[in-house]
Structure 1
Amino acid sequence: MTFEDLRDYINFMLKRGKIVQIDDEVDVNLEIAELSRRATYSHLPPLLFTNIKNYREWKLITNIFYSIDAVKEILGVDNLEDIGKNFLTEFQGIPLSLIDKIKSLPNFLKLGKIMPKSGKPKFKEREMGLESFPALKTWPKDAGRFFTFSLVVTKDPETDVHNVSVYRIQILNDKEALMHWQAFKRGSLAAAKYKEMRINKIPVAIVNGVDPVIAFTAASPVPPGIDKYLFAGILRGEGVELYKLDNGILVPSSAESVIEGYVDLEDLRPEGPFGDHLGYYTPVDYYPTFKVDRIYIRDNPIFHATSVGKPPLEDAWIGKAVERIFLPFIRLVIPELVDMNLPEYGLFTGIGIFSIRKTFPGQAKRVMMSIWGNGQLSFLKFIIIVDADVNVHDINQVMYAIATTVDPARDVLIIPNAMNDSLDHTSLHPPLGSKIGIDATRKFKEELGREWPEEVKSDENVVKKIEPIWNKIIGKYLPSK
């Protein structure tokens, strides 16, 4: 699916009767967020607010990613795993950065229309400040109003690879905001490189209101080194049109708004509290300050926001889509991996369930270590490994596997002083915390000390003989089956 911009997506949804337009006056202070959460919990389609108190110039959209089917519709696929599989088969050896494409002409020609391209901006510079944006206060004790689904664009100073991510941004005043990029996020890692080069003011752009495919890409853990604009082009089937700002940052030319500026790494200020996706307020901590140089905006602008809190909200459905899309990538590193489930109520960085084809003793613990060394999966606090015949998406099957294969002293692995989610309030000194791995696979003789017991199975001849009798029973007493 290719949308020209956010407006094109809204028109697409309007034609299908899948936009809930709200013309009643609503306030950015708690009211929009409350309505948005109720809509997501109820699996309603996107909400388009047209009458925002004190922000008459704006429309505001929330709840774009309201279900897993909504993500499939945006990406134009029925099977999300096919995206990862097609990427791996069609684009091996792709150039990782926008500069590398020049050095790799054959690959550049191969990629064709999905490469980023230059575009004429639809926005224009305006004299306005951050407080003119209808950013939301989502929970009563939040420190203020936050950008919650704006894209933060940075550039790696060594490779020129652009990173596009979603970080919450707390507005301080018209010219300043706080950039909440956590340790080991790509924006923070780029900042560390600038700091090593003794550059403390790094170019940044805050972008809002883009094609939802680009927004989804920004929220996804694209493999390190791959330019997210390039990956968005692969998902869209067409390259993203970009415009180069004066600070050297490339931004989507069809964005509803762009804030050009820099992050001052030496200007750290207290950020938060903020009611986050764990369902708790994250406490105050120090983060660097973003400072505005210029603001660009389209006529009759549309602002994109989300409300986070206890699952399942929009981030849950983005997470489930990411799980499916990136499964083929993880299988490259862990070939014995069959399937995985990052349950939405496990908060994606909390609990992960993985099935493997087990062929040798100790393999489950080896896989745990591989998972904890793999990108965003490294933040998982609980890992459960089961056999290939266990459906990881059926929690009852997983519970049965744990109950019938696990001896806690032998099969539970606890790792202290490891890196977890920075928002994990259960740790004394986040992001430093502990991890637990559970080997819920059937054990080899070397692991158990004796042969694993034989599982019960029905007699095949008896099954064939009673089948007609059983069919009569279910036909009479279970007709709906």
Structure 2
Amino acid sequence: MTFEDLRDYIDFMSKRNKIIQIDDEVDVNLEIAEITRRATYMHLPPLLFSKIKKYENWKIITNIFYSINSIYEILGTNNLESIGENLLNNFKDMPLSTIDKIKSLPSMLKLGKITPKLDKPKFKETNVGLNDFPALKTWPKDAGRFFTYSLTITKDPETEVNNVSVYRIQIINDKEAIMHWQAFKRGSMAASKYKEKGITKVPVAIVNGVDPVIAFTAASPVPAGLDKYLFAGILRGEGVKLTELDNGILVPSTAESVIEGYVDLNDMRLEGPFGDHLGYYTPPDYYPVFKLEKVYLRDSPIFHATAVGKPPLEDAWIGKASERIFLPFAKMIIPELIDMNLPEYGLFTSIGIFSIRKNYPGQARRVMMSIWGTGQLSFLKFIIIVDSDVNVHDINQVLYAISTTVDPVRDVLIINGILNDSLDHTSANPPLGSKIGIDATRKFKEELGREWPEEVKSDEEVVKKINPIIEKIKQQYLP
């Protein structure tokens, strides 16, 4: 699907009566977040707030990713796996290893109309500060107002790959904000490369109000090394239009607002607390400070925000869509993988259920290790491996598999002192924590010590005979 910008998307949804315009005066302090959370829980369409207390020149849009159907609308398809499959089909006949194929993605994708293109900006420089942005205070004990769905854009100083990510950003004053990029996030890793080169002022742009396809890409686990603008071009079917800022950062030329500046790695300040997607306040910790140099706005700008908290909120549906889009990538890396389920109540970085085609003893543990070594799947605390005939999206089938295949001493693997999500408050010393893997597959003789018992099955002739009787009963007694 191709939207010119956020306004084009709003027009698209308005024509389908799928924008809820709220003309009552609302406050960025708690009120907008409360309305947004309730709307998301009810799967209501996006909310457009037209009267913001103390921010008369702005509108705010929230709840863009209100359900899995919202992703279908934005991407123009409900077959999300086909997106990854079509991309990887380019490599089907190439005699390359899995690693070589992944490394070849960027060069292959630079061909064609999906390549980013330079364009004149629709925004212009203006004299405003960070406090002039209608950022939200989401929960009562949050440390202040935060950008919750602004895009942080950096460039790798070695590869020049553009990274577009969503990090929360706490406003301190008109010129400074705290950048919450965790050590293993791309922005932070790029910053480490700058620091190795003796550069402590990392060029950064904070962008808000873009085509929702770009916004979705920013929050997605795009394979490492792949330029996110390129991937957004794949999803859009058309290259992203970009403008280069004075600090060398490329930003979408149709953005509603752009804040140009740098992150000062020598200036670390206490950020938080913040009520995050785990449903708890993350305690204060030290992160580097972003320092504003210039601000650009479109006329009558629209601010995009989200409200986080206990699932399922917007991040749940972004995660579920990412699960489907990137399943083909996971299958390429782990050939025996059949399907995966990252349950929305498992927070997408906590619990993962995977089905495999099992061919040899010990295979489930081998797959666990592969998953823990693969991109953002490496953050999973709980991995459950089941056989190929188990529907990973049916929790009852998964529970049955665990109940009938698992001996805890033999089939449960616990690893300590390994990387988890930094926001995980259950760990004593985050981001280090522990992980658990459960092998809920049927066991080979080498694993069990004897042959696996035979499963019960009905007699086929009896089934054929009684089927008509069952049909009569169903017609008579079932609604």
TM-score (norm 2): 0.97
**One-letter code aligned to 1:200:** T
Q: CA deviation at 1:327?
A: 0.3
Contact 1:96 1:227 in 2 (8 A): no
* Distance in 1, Cα, partners of 2:294 & 2:401: 57
- Write the deviation string for residues 360-386 of structure 1: whole angstroms up to 9, x where unpaired: 000000000000000100000000000
What's the counterpart of residue 49 of structure 2?
Answer: 49
**DSSP-derived class of the 1:435 partner:** strand
* Distance in 2, Cα, partners of 1:132 & 1:448: 65
What's the counterpart of residue 323 of structure 2?
Answer: 323
Q: CA deviation at 1:91?
A: 6.9
What's the counterpart of residue 11 of structure 1?
Answer: 11
| 2:370 is equivalent to residue 370 of structure 1 | yes
What's the counterpart of residue 420 of structure 2?
Answer: 420
Contact 1:116 1:230 in 2 (8 A): yes
What's the counterpart of residue 72 of structure 2?
Answer: 72
* Distance in 1, Cα, partners of 2:72 & 2:84: 14
* Distance in 2, Cα, partners of 1:183 & 1:374: 17
Q: CA deviation at 1:179?
A: 0.3
Q: CA deviation at 1:467?
A: 0.7
What's the counterpart of residue 267 of structure 1?
Answer: 267
**DSSP-derived class of the 2:321 partner:** helix
Q: CA deviation at 1:94?
A: 9.2
What's the counterpart of residue 115 of structure 1?
Answer: 115
| Segments ≥4 residues shifted beyond 3 Å | 90-98
Q: CA deviation at 1:147?
A: 0.1
* Distance in 2, Cα, partners of 1:452 & 1:89: 38
**DSSP-derived class of the 1:134 partner:** coil
- Structure 1's unaligned 5+ residue stretches are none
* Distance in 2, Cα, partners of 1:180 & 1:320: 24
What's the counterpart of residue 22 of structure 2?
Answer: 22
* Distance in 1, Cα, partners of 2:144 & 2:81: 39
What's the counterpart of residue 175 of structure 2?
Answer: 175
What's the counterpart of residue 38 of structure 1?
Answer: 38
| 2:263 is equivalent to residue 253 of structure 1 | no
* Distance in 1, Cα, partners of 2:194 & 2:476: 73
Contact 1:25 1:53 in 2 (8 A): yes
* Distance in 2, Cα, partners of 1:439 & 1:396: 16
* Distance in 1, Cα, partners of 2:91 & 2:444: 39
Q: CA deviation at 1:183?
A: 1.5
- Write the deviation string for residues 168-211 of structure 1: whole angstroms up to 9, x where unpaired: 00000000000000121110110111111111001000000000
Cα 1:176–1:97, aligned 2, differ >3 Å: closer, same or farther? Answer: farther
**One-letter code aligned to 2:123:** F
* Distance in 2, Cα, partners of 1:97 & 1:266: 36
Cα 1:6–1:475, aligned 2, differ >3 Å: closer, same or farther? Answer: same
* Distance in 1, Cα, partners of 2:25 & 2:103: 46
What's the counterpart of residue 222 of structure 2?
Answer: 222
Q: CA deviation at 1:417?
A: 0.5
What's the counterpart of residue 405 of structure 1?
Answer: 405
Counterparts of residues 329-348 of structure 1 (less than 5 Å)? 329-348=329-348
Contact 1:247 1:261 in 2 (8 A): yes
**One-letter code aligned to 2:410:** R
Contact 1:272 1:285 in 2 (8 A): yes
| 2:190 is equivalent to residue 190 of structure 1 | yes
Q: CA deviation at 1:72?
A: 1.1
**DSSP-derived class of the 2:113 partner:** helix
**One-letter code aligned to 1:4:** E
* Distance in 1, Cα, partners of 2:152 & 2:176: 15
**DSSP-derived class of the 1:79 partner:** coil
What's the counterpart of residue 460 of structure 1?
Answer: 460
**DSSP-derived class of the 2:326 partner:** helix
- Write the deviation string for residues 325-355 of structure 1: whole angstroms up to 9, x where unpaired: 0000011110000000000000011100000
Aligned-pair identity in percent equals 78
- Structure 2's unaligned 5+ residue stretches are 93-99
* Distance in 2, Cα, partners of 1:205 & 1:86: 32
TM-score (norm 1): 0.96
* Distance in 1, Cα, partners of 2:142 & 2:307: 12
- Write the deviation string for residues 88-120 of structure 1: whole angstroms up to 9, x where unpaired: 11378999799x86xx8xx74xx3111000111
Cα 1:160–1:204, aligned 2, differ >3 Å: closer, same or farther? Answer: same
* Distance in 2, Cα, partners of 1:330 & 1:197: 34
**DSSP-derived class of the 2:324 partner:** helix
Q: CA deviation at 1:37?
A: 0.1
What's the counterpart of residue 394 of structure 1?
Answer: 394
Counterparts of residues 56-205 of structure 1 (less than 5 Å)? 56-90=56-90, 108=110, 111-205=111-205
Q: CA deviation at 1:81?
A: 0.4
**DSSP-derived class of the 1:113 partner:** coil
* Distance in 1, Cα, partners of 2:432 & 2:30: 32
What's the counterpart of residue 291 of structure 1?
Answer: 291
**One-letter code aligned to 2:420:** N
**One-letter code aligned to 1:160:** E
* Distance in 1, Cα, partners of 2:466 & 2:408: 41
Give the root-mean-square deviation of aligned CA atoms: 1.5
- Write the deviation string for residues 135-155 of structure 1: whole angstroms up to 9, x where unpaired: 000000000000000000000
